[in-house]
Amino acid sequence: METVAEVLNDTNTKIGKSFDTLKQQFAGLRTGKASPAMVDQIKVDYYGAPTPIKNLGTISTPEPRQIKITPFDPTVLDAMNKAILAANIGVTPQTDGKVLRITVPELNEERRREIVKLAKTQAEAQKVAMRNVRRDANDAVKKLEKDKKISEDDMKVGLDKIQKATDDGIAKIDAELKSKEAEVMAV
């Protein structure tokens, strides 16, 4: 990279990806109501290839506490059932030969706390990822200054902008975590 603007643009892109990853992880956390995101990322062994369950059938929520999965190929129903059980998401699927139904039970206080703890762990992992992006961007800007491609003042301004972008990303993560925590703990 030749300029501070390019480094900053790259940094903002990577910070945005970290935040998007966290939102995807949070979507898969159970909140006591059914959501297709709970099973979206579960991989099913489909003819020897691990395939996301969302690619093998239609996932819907006909009732607030139920997920219905209708496979495109009915022969994969047993494999889906096994994959959901193996994913250990705290639900047991039921099948009638054509569709898979998952009833999401009420969360007890202990399970809610476990989910919040998991959410905090996921949020912290993304904060660390953002800090690593900041470190790499700072190194790139310092290298530009060392190679005499930018002035020392430009370097300081660039480092400040990188720090602000990182702080903004971490603030977004904290807000998302607080929101998810409130959602999970709501009875």
Residue extents of the structural domains in the chain:
4-27+108-185, 37-103
| Contact between 27 and 120 (Cβ < 8 Å) | no
Give the Cα separation of 40 and 24 in Å (integer). Answer: 10
Strand 93-95 versus strand 100-103 pairing type: antiparallel
**How confident is the model over 48-73, as a mean pLDDT?**
91
* pTM across the whole model: 0.72
CA distance 84 to 86: 5
Calpha distance 58→71 (Å, rounded): 6
Q: What is the CATH number of domain 37-103?
A: 3.30.1360.40
The Cα-based distances of 147 to 66, 111, 157, 165 in angstroms read: 60, 54, 17, 24
Range name among 16-25, 101-110, 166-175 with the lowest pLDDT average: 101-110
- Find where tokens 């892109």 sit: 13
- What mean pLDDT is predicted for residues 122-138? 95
From 52, 98, 91, 48, select the one nearest 73 (Cα to Cα).
98
Please list, in sequence order, all residues whose beta carbon lies within 8 angstroms of the beta carbon of residue 11, skipping any fewer than 6 positions away.
133, 134, 137, 162, 165, 166
pLDDT higher than 70, residue 1: no
Taking the C-alpha atoms of residue 102 and residue 87, their distance in angstroms, rounded to an integer, is 13
Of the two residues 87 and 9, the one the predictor is more confident about is 9
pLDDT at 175: 96
CATH node for 4-27+108-185: 1.10.132.20
Cα radius of gyration (the chain): 22
pLDDT of residue 124: 96
